[in-house]
A and B are shown apart, each in its own frame.
Chain A
Amino acid sequence: NAGVTQTPKFQVLKTGQSMTLQCAQDMNHEYMSWYRQDPGMGLRLIHYSVGAGITDQGEVPNGYNVSRSTTEDFPLRLLSAAPSQTSVYFCVSARDPNQPQHFGDGTRLSIL
């Protein structure tokens, strides 16, 4: 049981590049979400999903896309990277929003 697995752990991009942050969970959780955490700051919700085929926007969705084709996977796509998107990104899963949330180890993304 690996829990929530995020790849890559570190990534450096140039402004304008696109990339996908991968997230997979093996706990059969219906609920998944993505947060970003800027240095010294709190967690901000980007997108979330209550089940396969269903996604919705969080607090800061602009510049990001998500899809949920399977229960296990919830990739986050940066469409055209900007320096303001430099952050640590956490993928999270849970049985439902009221249950304990399981966080991945994070992806540290730097955009030059």
Chain B
Amino acid sequence: LAKTTQPISMDSYEGQEVNITCSHNNIATNDYITWYQQFPSQGPRFIIQGYKTKVTNEVASLFIPADRKSSTLSLPRVSLSDTAVYYCLVGERNQGGKLIFGQGTELSVKP
């Protein structure tokens, strides 16, 4: 299983760029990397997904190096509403669908 490792928590201030890195050393060839955001009392929601290099959408960017053993979620100019837990998930195509979430990173954005 491609276990993921993230920092437990991060602090930031409004307007800053936040980069959260996830380590997934034994990622399989066909696996995608997906990031989710979870607010208190809600289910996680999809932010962004990528396979290699860089992916950008209206919310975030995802940077994946050539060896794919890590990935970095970049949130530009965060606001208080970005305070949430962020999970990195690696697709387990070769494990029959057993998706194991890591601990997640609790991001706290301060004014």
Contacts and interface: CB of A to CB of B under 8 A. Distances in A.
Interface of A: 31, 33, 35, 42-45, 48-50, 56, 58-59, 90, 96-106
Contacts of A31: 97
Contacts of B41: 106
B101 A98 contact: no
Interface residues of B, number: 26
B45 interface: yes
Interface of B: 30-32, 34, 36, 41-46, 49, 87, 89, 91-93, 96-104
A50 B96 contact: yes
A101 B99 contact: yes
Contacts of B43: 90, 103-106
A42 B102 contact: yes
Contacts of A45: 98-101
Q: What are the 7 A-B residue pairs with the smallest beta carbon separation, nearest first?
A: A103-B43, A98-B91, A100-B46, A97-B97, A43-B101, A98-B32, A50-B97
Q: Which residue, A44, A58, A97, has most C-beta atoms of chain B within 10 A?
A: A97
A101 B99 CA distance: 10
Contacts of A42: 87, 101-104
Q: Which residue, B43, B96, B99, has most C-beta atoms of chain A within 10 A?
A: B43
A98 B89 CA distance: 9
A97 B100 CA distance: 11
A33 B46 contact: no
